[in-house]
Structure 1
């Protein structure tokens, strides 16, 4: 039998909670739960000292359904004996999200991606239409089974083909968005605040912390690093203006706008004067000229820029 130690368990738990664990690492984590001396592998003393609470029956049922049959017995032992609810809820929700098919054959995943400055329209096998913004990618099954699942990194507009028997789920960073048939936009670039807007229909957004939010036509929210949903009073239609080559700068900081410009024009923008990245912009700009966009921004806030090849430096005058 393979030997494991506490550091192995600690590292795998960290990766699972940070959503960086590979499929093989998730399988290894499940194998650890089968070890007779499981308690020796749990390094967190606060887990051992905290008061245990029963898992909600609905959550436990979901986790059980997510696992192959031959894993149920050791996992039940693990849930009951080793993980106090307060400390483990995020981990269990994450496992449910990441392990729906471990031990089962999966359909091959196809990938569609865009480069800087590129917008691409894709039709999925179920006839759902996806428009990818610059520097974005999606992965999806060539033959979806019980659910239609898409993994998104970057920004995309979805016009989902309705199918009540096969819900459509988008995995974007830590969030899971579930729909039946609707049109919505998700912005989920690494290191940036996620943003979701519903153009028509209804979606349900869930986070690893157990938070769930139902959004209908006209709703728009952000999900930040503090795991908080914040409603935005804005028209979701404008959120997808990028499809028309329009940069919507309303209520965005200069730091946020420069990230958009970097993706659209394949440049690196450096903000050299302290605090200028927090300037809040407004209005829209047609994606026709990087020079015109920079000059417009600099004029409003009395800034200047210098371009050296693909590097642009912005500072106060």
Structure 2
């Protein structure tokens, strides 16, 4: 029934009620009733506004899906803007933006994101030793071939070869190892190494220390030269001095030098330009 017919039906019913009010009162009451019951036509919804809002929501969800479905390795590549290569014949020391340190072996390369302080992901080709600064909010991840090494703060080496094999040797702390397309994870402890190749992963122990048992101090001098490239000069009266000490193979050079100085009550000076250590 259309509005006009409905008005007439309501008016007929209204007029049939007992005449308790005057005609003018009834007329006023009827107009008030009609105005409240039949509002003016409401404007049609502007569908395009809701469609636009829906489109924005769909776009946001799509972008979010792309972001969270991207793998860490893809994300690292996507944000990459720093590549460091070592084309020399000696180890190259690199200070990362988060104050972590990398000792990059010859013919090796690292790639990391421009926002590395908050996106601590780094790709290794070749071999590198990492001394990682602790940051619980931003785990440190190293990608090499099909493996991912995740750490919070520790020191370790990562070595990859052309056959896609990887060896991770842990010197301090702990790391978690993952392999692409595998659900299993491996937690390494200090002194353990993870080896992966030909789709086979295994964990084994290794000797992370160099021991000197009642040897001449000159033996430590030779060790420092071979492993750090620094020549060490000691007073002549200490040439035959004996030493017993255990050194982490990846220990900071300055830590070793300080240890020797304290053991023999000596002062020292390190000349970085000449790569020379002098004890007095």
Taking structure 2 as the reference length, what is the TM-score of the superposition?
A: 0.49
Which protein is bigger by CA-based radius of gyration?
2
Higher relative contact order by CA 8 Å / sep ≥ 6: 1 or 2?
1
